[in-house]
Structure 1
Amino acid sequence: MISEPSAANEPHRPAALPGRATGARNAGDAWVAGPDGQRYWGKYGAAGLLAVDPERGILLQHRASWSHYGDTWALPGGARHEGESAAAAALREAAEEAGVPAGSIRVRMMSVLDLGVWTYATLIGDVTVPFEPVISDAEGHALAWVPPDEVQALPLHPAFARSWRWLRPLLDVRPVVVVDAANVVGVVPDGWWKDRAGAAARLLHAVSALAARGLPGEPLGLPDAVWFPEYVVVVEGQARKVAGPEDPDPLVRLARADGSGDDAVVAEVEQLLSGGRSVTAVTSDRGLADRCRSAGARVIGAGGLRLYFAAGRQQ
């Protein structure tokens, strides 16, 4: 995925960081040079977090005066460690620079700027457990929750200012995938008819794994990025006996249809759309697909979802 950078610390960093303790530094804290001589901070790339609080706005860091484009506002972020995923790096840097507690963010989307020699990942995450940010290193001298409509009034880091133009509309995009479990299970002749509850349990496991990996924007009708939508898996008939997971996934909800599974899928779609959600229904049933489209949802086939299941097994 290629997008404009939203790097709070992208691409410049001084050779020494005032106020930081001396000692061994992570191998990722190093410069990378492009073919044109431009340098980028982070041997393994860099990442930053755009934390969204529904009541207070987005979390911004006022950069220290000594930094590149000092005294501007941007996202907490920094260099990735060797072998560290971009999402993990964004969350770690946010914890180190802004005191963002572990488990307080639910990831919604990640977009990656790929320059070949260097990457920067922007992670959008929703605050699920409110917290007060804490300045914990010398790279910033203030942190603030800023309402989205007030962000442009601040002196922004130029890279963040460029990216904010496309990031701002995405703050209101909250995707949900509604899965017609009977249809998705039925496209593979693996004996599901002998144990419908067991087949539903396998589907729930596959959906949970997919929720953790994310989906590209194209099947969801969303901008190019890795998205982490919520999932509603609708089960009917004998599949309603499926047991819920012992450790529930916050991104996956099981809906047990009292009667028609098709009616339950449409009801879920309509309710979510009325709440302003971006909804994609998964079914290969033509009649149900038409009903979901008429309600305003996007539709992908059961086989399409299973292709993403298979892609995860091959990784």
Structure 2
Amino acid sequence: MTIVPPAFDEPRRPEGPRDPGDAWVVADSGERYWGRFGAAGLLAVDAERGVLLQHRVAWSHFGGTWGLPGGALHEGESSIVGALREAREEAGVPDGAVRPRFTSVLDLEIWSYTTVVADVQTPFEPVISDPESVALEWVAIDDVESRPLHPGFARAWPELRRLLEERVALVVDAANVVGSVPDGWWKDRAGAAERLAGRLDGVAIAAPELGIGGTEWFPEVSLVVEGQARALDAHPHGVSIVRADAAGDDAIVAEVEKRVGSGANVFGVTSDRELADRIRRTEPAQVRSAGWLLERL
């Protein structure tokens, strides 16, 4: 592997200091990959309009093809942060408009590319904001393969399309998870539940633990609270608060049933054996322990 300076067909950037990640990685075979620290792109998914694709300008690498807004990662930058930054720079994707659902990583050892698949939370119109795009379009999922696709995206698309049918949901027994940690929760149950909700926002689960492909998943989270913890304020981001009107276990099972009915891959989180048995009876829901969850926060 060698690192070479940019050539004429590099992605063009605004005038100013060049980031050290903006360089070609050249394999021993001669193949070139853009991004000294790897690269990432955003596959934004709109339930009504399809996926956002970028028509690449002719002078770019594989110019004239359709692919994803994306580019080289900065040194020390996570793939999600990098993909969202590039999508903002290249397609005007507003901050907070999408929520990551899963990632898929192509790892060539000398270089990697991460596709960040994210659901649109606030509809937006893409804006061509740099010279790398001829067009930006929402393309129906069934029509993607009719476009001349970037070779890398073309290879990845069949598996990405299959995974677009999948969703992951965690239904969390707040009392059980909070009670497994001796942090004074009994003095302020609503406060303890609030701290747990904050930690759950954006929790990532490795795909092999779920058995559904991809690299890492960012599940939808339902946090079921009862008793004094019902005073918990609504969480502003990726955690839905479910307040049990009566028995907490009944509310948890009802939420599991609701999520299973929506087609999600559902994981109930509790270490209560009786409740775990009830959740498993709602097939195909699975159960994970409070300790399993805490290890991932």
Tell me, yes or no, whether TM beats 0.5.
yes
Q: 1:244 aligns with which of 233, 236, 259?
A: 233
Q: Structure 1, unaligned stretches of length 5 or more?
A: 1-12, 310-315
Q: Which moved more, 1:183-192 or 1:54-63?
A: 183-192
SS at match of 1:203: helix
Secondary structure at 1:295 match in 2: coil
8 Å CA contact 2:222–2:242 kept in 1: the answer is yes
**Counterpart for residue 78 of structure 1:** 71
- Within 5 Å, give how 1:163-312 maps onto structure 2: 163-208=156-201, 211=202, 213-241=203-231, 243-244=232-233, 248-296=235-283, 297-309=285-297
165-174 vs 110-119, which deviates more?
110-119
**1:14 and 1:67 in contact (8 A); partners too:** no
* Change over 3 Å in CA distance of 1:23–1:244 after alignment to 2: closer
Offset, 1:281: 0.7
State the superposition RMSD in angstroms.
Answer: 2.2
Say how many residue pairs are matched. Answer: 291
Q: Gapped runs of 5+ residues in structure 2?
A: 1-5
TM-score between the two structures when normalised by the length of structure 1: 0.85
What is the letter of the counterpart of residue 281 of structure 1? G
TM-score by length of 2: 0.89
Note the alpha carbon deviations across 1:149-171, whole angstroms, 9 max, x for none. Answer: 11111111111111001000121
Please tell me whether the aligned partners of residues 9 and 60 of structure 2 are also in contact (alpha carbons under 8 angstroms): no
| AA partner of residue 82 (structure 2) | A
1:232-251: per-residue Cα shift (whole Å, max 9, x none)?
Answer: 1111223323x326xx3321
CA contact (8 A) 1:192 1:199 kept: yes
User: Displacement, 1:148?
Assistant: 0.6
1:3 aligned partner:
none
Specify the alignment match of 2:3 in structure 1: none
Point out which structure has higher relative CO (alpha carbons under 8 A, 6+ apart): 1
